[in-house]
Amino acid sequence: MIKDLRTEKYADIPDKDKAAFENAVKPLTTLESKINEKEGELKEIAKKLTAILKEAQAMLLKWEAGDEAVKGLWNKMNGWVYEGFEASFKNIGVDFDKNYYESDTYLLGKDVVADGLAKGVFYKKEDGSVWIDLTDEGLDEKLVLRRDGTSVYITQDIGTAIQRVKDFPDVGGMVYTVGNEQDYHFKVLFLILKKLGFDWAANLYHLSYGMVDLPSGKMKSREGTVVDADDLMDEMVSTAKNISEELGKLEGYSDEDKARLHRIIGLGALKYYILKVDPKKRILFDPEESVDFAGNTGPFIQYTYARIQSLLRKAEFDFAVTLAVEDINLHEKEKELLKMVAQYPEIIQAAAEGHSPALIANYTYDLVKEYNSFYQSVPVLGSEVENEKIFRIQLSKKVGETIKSAFGLLGIGVPERM
C-alpha cells in the first residue's frame, strides 16, 4: 500500500515538499512492515487453531456416538468440575432443588429441531447444517445443528427449557439469571421456542445482570482476569475478621463462635453489596468497603438486628401480652416505623415483579435506618410508661423479624449476637 502510494504520487510532489512527505510516510512504512511480520505469525496460529478445532470436533462426534474412551475422559473431568461446584455452592450457602445437564437434554433438543425442520420452522443449508432465519425479527440467522449433526449451545438450551416444563408443569415461567454478555443468546432462544409453538415461552425472562469489577479489574471475563469465587469468599471472611478485631466487638467469644460470626458477616457483606445494586447495572465491588459497619452494608444491618436481639433478651418480656390500640399514644418515630414495617409485603411483590432483589436489600437498609432513629429518639426499656414500654419492645421484635425475613430472601444470615 505504501509502496503504491510512493510510486504513483511521489513524482507529482514538488521537490521542496518531498522531505516532508518522506517524514510523514516513514511511520506508515514501519507500521506496514510490522503488520507483514505479524501476518505470517497469525497464519501459523490459525493453522494450529484449525487443527485443534478439528480434533475437538472429532471428539464431539465420538462423544455423541457413545465412544467409551471419550465418555470415560469426559466423566472424569466433569467429576472434578462438579465437585468444585458443590464445594463453592456449599461455601456460599446455595443449593438447588434439581440440576439439569446439557448432556441429558441435547438429544431432546435435536429431536425438537428435527420436528421443527419438518414443520418449516428451521431450514437446512446445502452443507447439511440446520438454521433458523430470524432476520424479520431484527436478529440474524442462527445455527441450531452443525453439518455433521452435532448440537450447539442453543440446541441444548431448547431441550433443557422443554424438559423443565415437563418436570414442573405448574411453573408459570422461568427466569434465566445470566450476565448481560448473553443478552442476544436469550433473545434468540426465547424467540425460537415461541416459533416452535410453546405458549409458556411468553413467560421466559432473562435476568440480565451487569458485570462485577474489583478495584483491580473485572471479576470474571473471558478476556480479562478471572477471580476465583472461593478465594473471594475466603478473602471476605478474612476481611470481616480483621475489622471485627480492630473494633474489638467480639470479646468473650470462643474461637468457634468467632469463626462462625466472621463467616456470617463476610459472606453477608459480599452478597448484600452485590444485591443492593440493580441487577442490570455494572458493579464496582470493594471488599473492605462492603464490610464497613456503617452505611449501606450488610454488616451494618446485621449489627442492628443483633442489637435488637440483645434488647429483647434484656427485656425478659412475655410477648403474649397484648395491648388495646386506644391505650397507646404513638410517637412520630413509632408511626414512621410502623408504616415501613407495613410496606414489607408490597416490597416483596414489587421485587418479584421487577426481578430485582435490590428492592428488598435497600428497603431493609431504610428500615434499619428508621429503627435506629426511633431507638435514639424514644426510650424503649427505659420508658416509665408501661404501655409504651410494652409496645416499643413488641415493635422492636417485629422489626427484627422483618430484617431476618428480608435477609433470608436474599440468602444472607443474621447473627443473634455481634
Tell me how far apart the alpha carbons of residues 294 and 369 are, in angstroms, rounded to a whole number: 11
pLDDT digits (tens, 9 = 90+) for 311-348: 999 887 666 666 666 667 888 999 999 999 999 999 99
Beta bridge partners of 116: none
Tell me how far apart the alpha carbons of residues 398 and 268 are, in angstroms, rounded to a whole number: 21
Q: Residue 1's pLDDT is what?
A: 43
- CA distances 145 to 58, 153, 189, 367, Å, are 15, 10, 14, 53
pLDDT digits (tens, 9 = 90+) for 220-233: 444 455 667 778 88
Structural domains in the chain plus CATH codes: 2-64 (no CATH), 104-209 (no CATH), 229-409 (1.10.730.10)
Backbone angles phi, psi at 127, to 5 degrees: -80, 0
Tell me how far apart the alpha carbons of residues 71 and 73 are, in angstroms, rounded to a whole number: 6
Q: Residue 218's pLDDT is what?
A: 47
What is the helix (H) or strand (E) element at residue 218, kind and residue range? strand 217-218
Answer whether residue 58 shows pLDDT above 90: no
Q: Which residue do the cell numbers 472461593 mark? A: 230
User: For residue 125, what pLDDT band results from cuts at 50, 70 and 90?
Assistant: very high
Model pTM score: 0.76
Mean pLDDT of all residues in the chain? 84
What is the helix (H) or strand (E) element at residue 344, kind and residue range? helix 344-354
